[in-house]
Amino acid sequence: MKIGFDAKRAFQNDTGLGNYSRTLISSLAKDFPGDEYYLFAPKQTGMYDLTALPDVKVVLPQQPLHRWFKSAWRSRFVVKDLLRYNIGIYHGLSHELPFGIHKSGIRSVVTMHDLIFERYPEQYNPIDVITYRRKARYACREADRVVAISEQTKQDLITYYQTPAHKIDVVYQSCDPSFAVTYPDDDIAEIGAKYRLPSQYFLYVGSLIERKNLLGIVTAMNTLKGTLDVPLVVLGNGGAYKKKVKAYLEANGLTQQVVFLNEQVRIKNSELPLLYQGALALIYPSFFEGFGIPILEALWSRTPVITSQGSCFAETAGDAALYVDPQDPVSIADAMRQVTTNTSLVKQMQEKGWQHAQRFTPDKCAAAMMKVYKQLNKEI
- State the Cα–Cα distance between residues 61 and 42, nearest whole angstrom: 6
What confidence score (pLDDT) does residue 259 get?
A: 94
Element (H, E) at 152: helix 151-161
Specify which residues 260 forms β-bridges with.
Answer: 234
- State the Cα–Cα distance between residues 169 and 147, nearest whole angstrom: 5
Q: Reduced to 3 states, what is the DSSP secondary structure of residue 221? A: helix
Domain locations along the chain: 2-174+361-379, 177-360
**154, 247 in Cβ contact below 8 A?**
no
- State the Cα–Cα distance between residues 84 and 146, nearest whole angstrom: 25
What confidence score (pLDDT) does residue 264 get?
A: 77
- State the Cα–Cα distance between residues 116 and 279, nearest whole angstrom: 29
Helical H runs in the chain? Answer: 8-12, 16-31, 64-68, 70-72, 78-84, 116-119, 126-142, 151-161, 185-194, 214-224, 240-251, 272-277, 293-300, 313-317, 329-341, 343-357, 362-379
| Mean pLDDT, the chain cut into blocks of 10 residues (380 residues total) | 95 86 94 95 92 92 88 93 96 96 96 94 91 96 96 95 96 89 93 92 94 96 92 92 95 94 83 95 94 93 95 90 96 96 95 94 95 84
Backbone angles phi, psi at 16, to 5 degrees: -50, -65
Question: CA dihedral defined by 320, 321, 322, 326, rounded to 10 degrees?
Answer: -160
If we measure between CA atoms, which residue out of 136, 91, 99 comes closest to residue 116? 136
If we measure between CA atoms, which residue out of 219, 112, 289, 185 comes closest to residue 305? 289
Neighbours of 319 (CB within 10 A): 12
What confidence score (pLDDT) does residue 22 get?
A: 93
pTM comes to 0.90
Class of domain 177-360: alpha beta
Asked if domains 2-174+361-379 and 177-360 share a fold, the reply is yes
DSSP code string of 254-316: -GGGEEEGGGT----GGGHHHHHHTSSEEEE--S--SS-HHHHHHHHTT--EEEESSTTHHHH
**103, 137 in Cβ contact below 8 A?**
no
In CATH, which of 3.30.230.10, 3.40.630.40, 3.40.50.2000, 3.20.20.450 is domain 2-174+361-379?
3.40.50.2000
